[in-house]
């Protein structure tokens, strides 16, 4: 954007700092990890006889080769976990779209604060789901075999961490750093 001031030309360019680009990459990675976590077939596994996702709970009796599966959307805590995680993923998607669209326009700095607020909100929702899930799982399901929280649960934590990192990067004031770039 250029403007003419009393015969001299003053050129103003909106600088996109590398911090904002890294923030956008963090939000994109968080979104990818959210998709992986929601679609993951294993949030909890136990000795090749049991697995639990956000959608189904499956077990295989020792004497059988067949898996028996039931929907997990019958208990309130599993529905709440899924709703909180999907709510966080929706806010992450919305913040990614706003950040990406604002990248194409010269009014980028106007979108930094809303993106950060949406990302912090997504982090709160996802943290609630990630704390609720193991507490209610341990309370509701009594397993006599060794079980572990698996990679689906880990992907959800990764998404939350990247969302938090992106939110912090979008909170940093770009005006303080423009002279360096």
Output the tens digit of pLDDT for each of the chain's 181 residues. Answer: 444 444 554 444 445 667 788 989 999 999 999 999 999 988 988 877 888 888 998 888 877 788 888 888 888 999 999 999 999 999 999 999 998 888 777 666 678 889 999 999 999 999 999 999 999 888 877 666 678 889 999 999 999 999 999 999 988 865 655 454 4
Range of the domain at 92: 20-40+76-143+151-172
The answer to whether residue 55 is domain-embedded is no
The answer to whether residue 156 is domain-embedded is yes
The answer to whether residue 65 is domain-embedded is no
The answer to whether residue 125 is domain-embedded is yes
* pTM of the entire predicted model: 0.82
The answer to whether residue 62 is domain-embedded is no
Coil, strand, or helix at residue 69? Answer: strand
The answer to whether residue 80 is domain-embedded is yes
d(CA 121, CA 119): 5
Calculated CA dihedral for residues 23, 29, 34, 35, nearest 10 degrees: 140
Domains identified in the chain, total number: 1
The answer to whether residue 46 is domain-embedded is no
The answer to whether residue 27 is domain-embedded is yes
Q: Looking at residue 36, which CATH number applies to its domain?
A: 1.20.140.150
As given in the structure block, the two tokens for residue 70 are: 């039931």
């Amino acid at each position: 954007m250029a403007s003419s001031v009393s015969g001299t030309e003053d050129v103003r360019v909106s600088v996109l700092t590398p911090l904002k680009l890294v923030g956008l990459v963090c939000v994109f990675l968080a979104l990818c990890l959210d998709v992986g976590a929601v679609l993951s077939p294993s949030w909890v596994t136990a000795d090749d006889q049991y697995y639990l996702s956000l959608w189904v709970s499956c077990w295989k009796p020792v004497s059988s080769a067949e898996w028996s599966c039931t929907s997990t959307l019958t208990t309130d805590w599993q529905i709440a976990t899924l709703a909180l995680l999907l709510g966080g993923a929706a806010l992450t998607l919305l913040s990614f779209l706003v950040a990406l669209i604002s990248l194409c326009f010269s009014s980028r700095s106007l979108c930094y604060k809303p993106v950060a607020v949406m990302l912090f909100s997504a982090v709160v929702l996802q943290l609630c789901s990630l704390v609720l899930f193991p507490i209610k799982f341990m309370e509701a399901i009594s397993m006599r075999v060794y079980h572990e929280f698996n990679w689906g649960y880990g992907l959800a934590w990764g998404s939350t961490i990247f969302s938090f990192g992106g939110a912090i990067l979008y909170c940093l004031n770009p005006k303080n750093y423009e002279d360096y770039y």
